[in-house]
Amino acid sequence: MEDWEVVPPIGGSCMSPGPGARRRNHKDEDDIIGIFATLLIPGKGGPVKDQAILCSRRTGKIIYLGWPSHIPPVYYNVHLQEISVVMPGMWECHAHFMGASPRRPIDSNNLAMTNPAEAGARNARAIKDTLYAGFTSAIELGGYATELQRVVEEGSILGPTLYGAGGAISMTGGHGDVFEIPYGCVHQALSVNAPGIHAGSVVMLQVDGIDECRKAVRLNLRRGARLIKVFASGGIVSRDDPVQYQQFSDEELKVIVQEAERNGMICAAHAMGKAGILAAIRAGVKVIEHGSYADEEVFSAMKKNDVMLVAAITPLDAILNNEDKYPPEMYRKTADLAKVHKDAYRNAVKAGVKCALGSDLFGGPGTVQAAGINGNEVPLAVEVGGMMPLQAIEAATANGPLTLGPQAPKSGQVKEGYDADLLGLDENPLDGIEVMRNSKSIKYIWKQGKLVKAPGLDPWSVLDR
C-alpha cells in the first residue's frame, strides 16, 4: 500500500518544492541522489544556471534535470547537495591500460613482455587515477580494459566504465611489432596462431593476410571488445616510418573493418601519415587516432564518411619535455612531426572535423606518461586545436561516446536517461579551461549515480559502500 503524506518545504536556498508538497515514501528513495548545480555545463549546448539533477543509483541513470521547483512530487524529500559547477563525466577516448613497468623504457619491448599479474596490479592504480582525473568512461585502444571492465563491474577495483578494443592489430614489421627481439619470439608472443595466452598478445596482435586479420577481430570479440583498433601507419614508439607508408594492404584493412562491423563494432585506426589515414578511411575506419599529416583532402574525406579525429597531443609534449627519459629515436621522430601534427589538429577543427579527446597515456606509475594527467587534453584542445572552451568540453564529454559507433551508450551529457556520470567543481572551466588539467580541481565525481570522489572520501571505502 502506498503511503502519502504532506511534508513542509525543505529549507536551504537550493530546494523549495513549495509548501504543502506531497511525497510518497518511496522504497527506493535512498537510491536517489540529488544535486543542485549553481551552474550546469550539460556537455552539449551552453551553460544553464540553477538546475536540479536527480540520479538513480539503482539504474545508474539521470532521472530528472530541470528547475528545482519542477521536481516531481515523488522526489520532494530528496536532499539536493549544492555544487558550484556541474558537468558530465569526461570520456578518455585513447587510453591504454597495459601495466608497463616504470623501471624500463616505454617501448614495445616493455609493453609486450610485462608479466600479466604485475600489469594487472599497476592497472588497478592507473584506472583509479584516470577516474579521479574526471574521466568516468575510457575507451582503450590496446591493453587489458576488456578484462579490467569485468573487475570494475564486480566492484573489486575503482575505475571508469571501460570500453576495450582488446589487442591492437598490427602487421609484421608494423607499429605493433617488437623490433628489438627475434621474430620467433615475437611470433610466439603476438601471433593469432600461437598456442596459449601470452602477455604480449593481450596488448597487441600481429597478423598478416586476410584470414589472420579476421581471426584477430574474432579473438578480440571473444575477450569482450567493444571496438577494434588497427595500426594503419607506423608510429613513434616503433622502429618504422610514421609518415610515408600505409600499413596493411587495402584488402587486409577492409576485412578487419567488415568483420568488426558484422559484430556491431567500429574500427579506430592509428594513422599518422597521409597514406595510412586515407587507406583507413577507404576501408571504412570511423576514428582516426593522431592524424598527424592530415590535410584538406583528408578533412573532406573524413567529413564525407563521418570519421572522427582523436589528435592526442599529450604524448608529443611528454616526449619533447623529457628528452632524457626516452630513446633518442623516439625523441627525434616526435620532434620531426610535432609541429605538423599540431597544425593538422588546428586545421581539422577549423575545417569542421568532429573531434573527441584522448591522451594516449601508457606509462607505468610515476612516469611522465602515467594515467592521471588525462585532463591535459582539454586545455590542449583550446591552446593547440583552437577550440572554444565550451567546444573543448563538448569534445571531452558528449563527443566521446560517438567514437564507439553502434556501441555508444547514452552518456557524456547531463540529460534525462543518460548515464549519471557527473563532475563537481568549484571553478568554472569556461572562465579558465586550465582547471581541467589538474585532477585536484575535480572535487566530486559520481559514476553511475554513485559518489566515488569527494573531499575526505577514501577511495578504498568507496568499494565497500
Residues in contact with Zn ion, shown as a per-residue x/- string from 339 to 378 under the rule CB under 5 A: ---------------------x------------------
Q: Which is nearer to Zn ion, 42 or 234 (CB)?
A: 234
Chain centroid offset of residue 179 CA: 28
What residues from 251 to 310 belong to the interface with Zn ion (CB under 5 A)?
Answer: none
Q: Is 127 left (phi over 0), alpha (psi -120 to 50) or beta?
A: alpha
What is d(CA 73, CA 117) in angstroms, rounded to the nearest whole number? Answer: 51
Contact 86, 41 (CB under 8 A): yes
Min separation Cβ 47 and Zn ion, Å: 32
What is d(CA 373, CA 11) in angstroms, rounded to the nearest whole number? Answer: 39
Cα angle value 453/455/456 (rounded, 5°)? 100
Min separation Cβ 141 and Zn ion, Å: 5
Cα angle value 395/401/406 (rounded, 5°)? 140
- Rg of the chain over Cα atoms, rounded to whole angstroms, equals 23
Closest-by-Cβ residue to Zn ion is: 360
Q: Which is nearer to Zn ion, 363 or 429 (CB)?
A: 363
Min separation Cβ 414 and Zn ion, Å: 29
Min separation Cβ 8 and Zn ion, Å: 56
What is d(CA 304, CA 315) in angstroms, rounded to the nearest whole number? Answer: 29
Q: Which of 107, 129, 240, 360 is catalytic?
A: 360
Catalytic annotation on 360? yes
Q: Which is nearer to Zn ion, 106 or 189 (CB)?
A: 106
Q: Which is nearer to Zn ion, 107 or 360 (CB)?
A: 360
Residues in contact with Zn ion, shown as a per-residue x/- string from 157 to 196 under the rule CB under 5 A: ----------------------------------------
Min separation Cβ 269 and Zn ion, Å: 11
Chain centroid offset of residue 69 CA: 35
Q: Which is nearer to Zn ion, 147 or 360 (CB)?
A: 360
For residue 304, the SS3 value is helix
Question: Going by C-beta distance under 8 Å and a sequence separation of 6 or more, which residues neighbour residue 405?
Answer: 227, 265, 266, 286
H runs (alpha helix) in 295-397: 296-304, 314-320, 328-351, 377-383, 389-396
Name which of 141, 147, 149, 424 is nearest 287 in CA terms. 141
- As to burial, measured by CB atoms within 10 angstroms (0-12 exposed, 13-18 middle, 19+ buried), residue 249 is middle
Q: Which is nearer to Zn ion, 259 or 360 (CB)?
A: 360
Size of the site for Zn ion (CB under 5 A): 1
Q: Which of 229, 286, 333, 415 is catalytic?
A: 229
Min separation Cβ 113 and Zn ion, Å: 18
Catalytic annotation on 215? no
What DSSP element (H or E) covers 66?
strand 61-66
107 is a contact residue toward Zn ion (CB under 5 A): no
Contact 414, 40 (CB under 8 A): yes
Q: Which is nearer to Zn ion, 360 or 377 (CB)?
A: 360
Instruction: Fill in the amino acid letter for 450.
Output: K
Q: Catalytic site residues?
A: 229, 360
Binding residues for Zn ion, rule: CB under 5 A, are 360
